Amino acid sequence: MSNELIINSTRSGCRIALLKDKRLVEYHEDTGGDSFNVGDIYLGTVKKVVPGLNAAFIDLGYEKDAFLHYHDLGPQVQSLNKYIKTVLSRRHTSAKLTGFKSEPDIHKLGKMSQVFSKNQKVLVQVVKEPISTKGPRLSCELSLAGRYIILVPFSNAVSISKKIADSNERKRLTRLIASIKPENFGVIIRTVAQGKDVRELDQDLRNLVEIWEKGIEKLKEAEPRDKIIGEMTRANSILRDVLNESFDSISVDDKALFEEIKTFIRKIAPDKEKILKLYSGKAKIFESFGVEKQIKMSFGKSVTVPSGGYLIIEHTEAMHVIDVNSGNKSNSQDNQEDTALHVNMEAAQEIARQLRLRDMGGIITIDFIDMRRAENKRKIYDRMREVMKDDRSKHTILPLSKFGLMEITRQRVRPEMNIATREVCPSCEGTGKITASIQVGDAVENTIQHLLTTQNQKKVTLTLHPFLYAYFTKGLISKRMKWYFKYHRWVNLEEDTSLGVTQYNVLDGNGELIEIQGATNVSATSETAA
């Protein structure tokens, strides 16, 4: 089994695709900026304490106040408040917690009004990104995630992942971490720490302590709403969590991003630096690896499964609903029960992939094809648990009900990934009528003439839908060759399946988009003027 990470740099950030055996299983978009990502730590201000909810609303600078429940405070919140107060008042100059006198733990059944008051400054961490009409959800139990461990300030506990089953290994790791961790810092040992030596664990611990110290230095000069410690970029975050022995390729198409990721990999896993490659192909990186096509095929309302069945995926405010259908296929199964079992087994695997791909969280209800036999229902349940093992998000799967429904809860920390796969006509803008599509060929030729003669462009590249690309390149003497004979300059053409059939981009020699003014009456892309 091979794992590949494909990273495409864009103007606003980057797009990240995780492939397992060439099949897309995760897709992320990192737009950069202040987007209140999970793990970000902010200096907030208490806007309102609500006794009825036993919660407080915190101002972080988002359009809606963030939500902080009493159960998310953590037992050592009073120690955190004491420390923050001394740092902001400049009475405390060191970021180290050595010698810091902790306050008593808060009561589990206490009240928010006993901990916070209006306009109080508080250090909080985002645990759930803004979704729909809700602001971010917060916690005061701060944690810094590393490659092998998670650092928890104001705690002295050493915890270990339940997935590490070997009792001797658990004792070894606990003993090692207890011997090297700083005072007043707790540590959670991650599953990937299994088998690692003290040198690797110590280096990871030092990196996290350094991040904490830099954050406290920033806190001394901070104002309310400031981000104190930011989570790393989405690409580095994914590498930190999923990079393992099964990875055989990481491809990046941007030099600066390549160097950034190279530095990060050298820091967390030097032995994996050799699998990092700078992509230099002529085609776009997502086109070359077949990612763009998979995105188009995977994010629609209807998703097919190999046997000929299909899924209908609906999203509501309360839950996600998935309907499994067999379609009108004929197969080798002898009866309806066997057919239903076959399709349901394939659907279970595709559903597990869709949950990761779209990052669907909350309640998911699946309507499988009806089956009569209890053993077949058990097979579907076991199959679902098996294919969900690789999912990093916490989840719970319930057996099929009497109505043939399966219920899944999956941790929801950010909005679901939703990509529109239906294309809006660039000419009619969704009114239902377009100008004659045959005109697009003339429009492209007018654009070429305008650029090469009027604007005297030395080097021009056009990115086109595959249909248009074929139209201009096929044949013994293609239309592109005729342009060369006419203008004595070669025009580069590239396929781009992300464009509509009548859309095209025009790039100069530096790869910058050229805006066309008055060269044609058929629109190019949304960035190109008609």
Give the model confidence (pLDDT) of 212-233 as tens digits.
Answer: 999 998 988 888 988 998 866 7
Q: Span 39-64, mean pLDDT?
A: 92
pLDDT in tens, 346-397: 999 999 999 988 888 889 999 999 998 999 999 999 999 999 988 888 899 9
Higher per-residue confidence, 296 vs 320: 320
Q: Which of 128, 147, 353 is nearest to 242 (CA)?
A: 147
pTM over 0.75: no
Q: To 10 degrees, the CA torsion angle through 60, 61, 63, 66?
A: 0
141 has pLDDT over 70: yes
Angle between helices 336-358 and 374-387 (to 10 degrees): 20
Q: Which of 131, 118, 141 is nearest to 48 (CA)?
A: 118
Structural contact between residues 246 and 2, judged by C-beta atoms closer than 8 angstroms: yes
Alpha-carbon distance of 240 to 39, in angstroms, equals 14
CA angle, 432 then 433 then 439, to 5°: 145
496 has pLDDT over 90: no
Beta carbons within 8 Å of 296's beta carbon, 6+ residues apart? 421, 497, 498
Q: Span 185-209, mean pLDDT?
A: 89
Left (φ > 0), alpha (ψ -120 to 50) or beta: where does 289 sit? alpha
The model's confidence at residue 51, banded by pLDDT at 50, 70 and 90, is: very high
Encoding tokens for residue 36? Answer: 């209140």
Neighbouring CB atoms inside 10 A of 452's CB total 18
143 has pLDDT over 60: yes
pLDDT in tens, 405-422: 999 999 887 776 666 666
Residue 440's pLDDT is: 82
Q: Which of 484, 478, 420, 501 is nearest to 448 (CA)?
A: 484
Alpha-carbon distance of 4 to 367, in angstroms, equals 32
Alpha-carbon distance of 428 to 414, in angstroms, equals 34
Q: Which domains does the chain have, with CATH numbers?
A: 3-32+233-293 (3.30.420), 47-229 (no CATH), 299-410 (3.40.630), 428-530 (3.40.1260.20)
DSSP string covering 342-410: HHHHHHHHHHHHHHHHHT--EEEEEEPPP---HHHHHHHHHHHHHHTTT--S-EEE----TTSEEEEEE
Which residue reads 């099929």 in tokens? 400
- Whats the size of the chain, residue-wise? 530
428 has pLDDT over 50: yes
Q: For 114, how many CA atoms within 13 A lie in the half-sphere containing its CB?
A: 12
Residue 526's pLDDT is: 36
Q: Report the mean per-residue pLDDT for the chain.
A: 84
The model's confidence at residue 159, banded by pLDDT at 50, 70 and 90, is: very high
The model's confidence at residue 36, banded by pLDDT at 50, 70 and 90, is: confident
Residue 92's pLDDT is: 63
The model's confidence at residue 318, banded by pLDDT at 50, 70 and 90, is: confident
Q: Tell me, what amino acid is at 140?
A: C
Q: Which residues pair with 495 in a beta bridge?
A: 464
CA angle, 30 then 240 then 77, to 5°: 90
